[in-house]
Amino acid sequence: MKNKIPTREEAYELLRKYNKSESLIYHALAVEAVMLHFAELFEEEDKEKWGIVGLVHDLDYEMYPKEHCKMTEEILKNENWPEDYIRAIVSHGWKICTDIEPIETMEKVLYTIDELTGLINATALMRPTGISDMKVKSIKKKWKDKSFAAGVNREVIAEGAQMLGMDLNEIIEETIKGMQSIANEIGLK
Ligand SMILES: [Fe+2]
Ligand SMILES: [Fe+2]
């Protein structure tokens, strides 16, 4: 069967089908918003694609945590998603659950901001004002405190920044902006 370009609505439906956990839905929406923000920043034409790839990147994580990335690949193949969407989604797990390396800019951004949204989210939850007036330096402070949000792999973020050839501070700043745009929907206000 021929591949079909998924719409945002179809992607969201699929996300809801495989994810019941509120925190995973919030994470999916946060990554989607940040991907859209970066697509705008880089003046990408296919913004919707960036958003969709972000939205479903962890599709299999709730039901198949041990087969993370691999099950997403299978599910999306069965849904007849295009190869480049699937490749981009799977490449976020480079060296962790797949050997597919991020090559395209969209893939590098996803790889970089996935873990970073986790650090920003954890930091925002500790602050009385949430994410609304968050500055880069609050994140840098938490970055150095390795016991804080210990599950967030700082090395992956730093490696991603290097792949993008972008300054880490700038990436943090833009990721905060992306998440601020949907603060209400992801429980950060
Ligand atoms: Fe993941
Ligand atoms: Fe993720």
* pTM for the full predicted model: 0.97
22-41 and 47-55 helices, crossing angle to 10°: 160
pLDDT at 189: 80
Instruction: Give the distance (Å) from ligand 1 centre to CA of residue 143.
Output: 20
Distance 117 CA to ligand 2 centre (A): 8
- How many Å lie between the centroid of ligand 1 and the Cα of residue 12? 17
Q: How far apart are CA 93 and CA 88, in angstroms?
A: 10
Q: Nearest to residue 109, comparing CAs of 89, 126, 127, 123?
A: 89
Closest ligand to 90 CA? Answer: 1
92 Cα to the center of ligand 2, angstroms: 8
Which ligand is nearest the CA of 97, by number?
1
Cα of 151 to ligand 2 centre, how many Å? 12
In the reported structure, the alpha carbon of residue 174 is separated from the centroid of ligand 2 by a whole-number distance in angstroms of 17
Alpha carbon of 129 to ligand 2 centroid (Å): 24
Question: Using N-to-C axis directions, what is the helix angle for 22-41 and 8-18, rounded to 10°?
Answer: 150
Q: What are the residue ranges in the chain where pLDDT is below 70? A: none
Determine the pLDDT at residue 2.
Answer: 82
Residue 52 near residue 6, CB atoms below 8 Å: yes
Percentage, residues of the chain above pLDDT 70: 100
Ligand 1 centre to CA of 165 (Å) is 22
The tens digit of pLDDT for each residue in 144-177 reads: 999 999 999 999 999 999 999 999 999 999 999 9
Q: What is the pLDDT of residue 87?
A: 98
Q: In the block, which residue shows the tokens 């945590």?
A: 65
Centre of ligand 1 from the C-alpha of residue 131, in Å: 23
What is the rounded radius of gyration, in angstroms, for the C-alpha atoms of the chain? 16
Q: How far is CA 172 from CA 89, 167, 168, in A?
A: 21, 9, 6
Kindly give the distance from the C-alpha atom of residue 182 to the centroid of ligand 2, in angstroms, as a whole number. 17
Which ligand sits nearest to residue 29's alpha carbon? Answer: 2
Residue 27 CA to ligand 2 centre (angstroms) = 7
